[in-house]
Amino acid sequence: MMGTERTIIKPTPQNPWLTIPEVDIRICLGTGGVAAGSREVLKAFEEELARTDMIAVIRPREDECSGQCASVTGTGCQGLCAMDPLVEIHLRRNGSHSQVTYGQVTPAMVPEIIEKHILGGEPIEKWLVLNGDEATEYNPFYDAQEKLTLRHVGIIDPEDIDDYLEAGGYQALYKVLTEMTPAQVIDEIKRSGLRGRGGAGFPTGQKWEFAAGYPTPDGVKYFICNGDEGDPGAFMDCSALEGEPHAVFEGMAIGAYAIGASVGYMYVRAEYPLALRRIKIGLKAAEERGLIGDNIMGSDFSFHIRLKEGAGAFVCGEETALMQSIEGERGMPRLRPPFPAESGLWTRPTNINNVETLAVVPWIITNGAEAFASRGYEKSKGTKVFALAGKVNRTGLAEVPMGMTLREVIFGIGGGVKNGKKFKAVQMGGPSGGCLPESLLDLPVDYETINQTGAIVGSGGMIVIDEDNCIVDTARYFLSFTQQESCGKCPPCRIGTKRMLDLLTKICEGKGTLGDLDFLEEMAQQVKVGSLCALGGTAPNPVFTALRYFRDEFEEHVVDKKCRAGICTALVTYSIDPDNCTGCRACVRVCPTGAITGERKQAHVLNQELCIKCGACYEKCRFDAVRRS
């Protein structure tokens, strides 16, 4: 592919920013931002700016922008979902540049922000999440982060290819096509120490080397991007695709060049409509610019990308099941070997990488393997994106060097547990992972260390649970998930997960015995060793870790018939404390079964026979009069 007479054209933006806008407003339009109402905020900014006569144009792409102008850009996920909608504002005036970020912006706040800050030059401090160099309570969320994978996410407009090109996009692919042989690309990725970010942590360079080494009968090899982010608590792939799809295309093209693939597939969950839409827009633009397709940048290298929408099956995140699904079959895994590198999609050599893995590849090519490998910890190099969610104050996406401790991530970046509640556990790795207790929080987050705990780093989901969550219920939740998602091909998984779920349900209903705990553990062991693929093989992990670190809670359920978190309704009783009850009737109004009676201003009474233990009265009472035991 190298050494031909073709001239390879360096990619440049077609429609560059002609002027750096004096007022530059960037609004988070990731799924989280949109859920918080950021589209309405963006609209309000556009409308309100149009009302001011100082603003020349909204998007300063054309030459007409002279004097003061403002640009309003919708970006991907800016990270701190807890404070969405986030609005970042840059002002460049008289040679100086200020940058602030507003949090939880509503359309009603927009006129004041424009009036006081954009026109008046005085930021409104009470609404600020970030205030230039001045410390705010949110600084810890940002300070520890280092964004390699998400380098453009939340900054540029994901629907505009020129934004990516302007930020240096597709230069890594250009470098690869002009300066590197496929073997050099593989070597670079190997030396970087990059490991698969989808969960298994397999070295990426080695995977590429395998796929490059296998012969193909007709010259066809495939390169697949796995965007079937199934862990119900991880959203980094979703955000990476929504925030900068071109980085993933570029990573795929570099990988395809390295292994000699001419056709690529992106397999993305149908549950991510926004990501799918931006991929479609991006692919079309990249093809039009000659960055994906035939003779990329005028070179001999051709690589086509096709988008496949997943149809809703967790098991399709498993690589052999995913390929079955692309082939139009039911997504059922098959035995390996042969591995996909030898015989994959339509029996051709195939390489599969996760979205996050591919998104960081261009950075490694541009900055060099050493730069990546200099970050991280022991055998886990570079940075990793973690999705912080659940009962943590600062929910969002954080990219940090591997090896940071769990405590630093949850209490430093995440700001600790919501509402001053007591930390109970952090769930890592979703249905294939486990719950880790407070005593393990000082462990560094790297693949090997976390594996030893019985959990896994997985795709990077970290769900914090507090004293109000029940460990048995959490384990039951994951088993109900894997049981539903088991493809049914092999009996240990199909039947075993069902039996484990039955046992956990029995315990949650207060009908469990100590013997059931032993049986549960034994069953978990059988499912682990007997299952065909990783779905079944790791499905028992939530149970193993729960029993290992929180056995006392299981014993309370079976021996004392108590659920200390008050989640397992069969084990909970609600009553009204007559001393605290003011007789406000708030609970009477929310009770769905009419179980609570009493006159206004007199202590109410709860009829246990009618009570369905929904907890509505408990949530409603402002006088701490409804007791749960």
Binding site for another protein (CB under 8 A): 31-32, 34-36, 39-40, 81-82, 84, 229-235, 238-239, 269-277, 280, 308-314, 325-331, 346, 387-391, 395-397, 427, 430, 461, 463, 465, 469, 474, 477-478, 481, 485, 487, 592, 614-616
Question: Is the CB of 83 or the CB of 91 nearer to another protein?
Answer: 83
Question: Is the CB of 8 or the CB of 281 nearer to another protein?
Answer: 281
Six-digit token string for 413: 């970046």
Residue 396 beta carbon to another protein: minimum distance, rounded to whole angstroms: 5
> Helix %, strand %, coil % for the chain, to 5?
40, 15, 40
**C-alpha–C-alpha distance, residues 557 and 572, integer Å:** 11
Question: Is the CB of 195 or the CB of 308 nearer to another protein?
Answer: 308
Adjacent-strand bridge partners of 435: 427
Q: Token match 């069953």: residue?
A: 523
Residue 319 beta carbon to another protein: minimum distance, rounded to whole angstroms: 16
Question: Is the CB of 429 or the CB of 496 nearer to another protein?
Answer: 429
Residue 235 beta carbon to another protein: minimum distance, rounded to whole angstroms: 4
Six-digit token string for 257: 């060049």
Residue 35 beta carbon to another protein: minimum distance, rounded to whole angstroms: 4
Question: Is the CB of 202 or the CB of 346 nearer to another protein?
Answer: 346
**C-alpha–C-alpha distance, residues 524 and 310, integer Å:** 29
Adjacent-strand bridge partners of 102: 87, 128
Task: Find, among 44, 68, 75, 47, the residue nearest to 121 by Cα.
Answer: 68
Question: Is the CB of 377 or the CB of 477 nearer to another protein?
Answer: 477
CA diameter of the chain: 93
Residue 68 beta carbon to another protein: minimum distance, rounded to whole angstroms: 30
Count other C-beta atoms under 10 Å from residue 75's C-beta: 26
Question: Is the CB of 280 or the CB of 601 nearer to another protein?
Answer: 280
**C-alpha–C-alpha distance, residues 338 and 347, integer Å:** 10
Question: Is the CB of 274 or the CB of 603 nearer to another protein?
Answer: 274
| Half-sphere exposure (Cβ direction) of 90: Cα atoms closer than 13 Å | 14
Six-digit token string for 244: 């900068």
Task: Find, among 277, 345, 362, the residue nearest to 76 by Cα.
Answer: 277
Question: Is the CB of 34 or the CB of 180 nearer to another protein?
Answer: 34
Residue 217 beta carbon to another protein: minimum distance, rounded to whole angstroms: 16
168 touches 85 (CB < 8 A): no
Residue 326 beta carbon to another protein: minimum distance, rounded to whole angstroms: 6
**C-alpha–C-alpha distance, residues 551 and 420, integer Å:** 25
Adjacent-strand bridge partners of 304: 263
Residue 299 beta carbon to another protein: minimum distance, rounded to whole angstroms: 28
Residue 624 beta carbon to another protein: minimum distance, rounded to whole angstroms: 19
281's CB contacts (< 8 A; 6+ apart) are 159, 245
Question: Is the CB of 78 or the CB of 357 nearer to another protein?
Answer: 78
SS3 2: coil
Residue 46 beta carbon to another protein: minimum distance, rounded to whole angstroms: 14
| Dihedrals phi, psi of 256, to nearest 5 degrees | -65, -40
Residue 623 beta carbon to another protein: minimum distance, rounded to whole angstroms: 19
Residue 315 beta carbon to another protein: minimum distance, rounded to whole angstroms: 9
284's CB contacts (< 8 A; 6+ apart) are none
Question: Is the CB of 172 or the CB of 305 nearer to another protein?
Answer: 305
538 touches 595 (CB < 8 A): no
Task: Find, among 581, 596, 587, the residue nearest to 619 by Cα.
Answer: 587
Question: Is the CB of 45 or the CB of 481 nearer to another protein?
Answer: 481
Cα distances from 388 to residues 108, 236, 259, 466, in angstroms, run 29, 10, 35, 14
Question: Is the CB of 256 or the CB of 388 nearer to another protein?
Answer: 388
SS3 163: helix
428 touches 384 (CB < 8 A): no
DSSP code for 11: P
Six-digit token string for 303: 């690589």
Residue 325 beta carbon to another protein: minimum distance, rounded to whole angstroms: 7
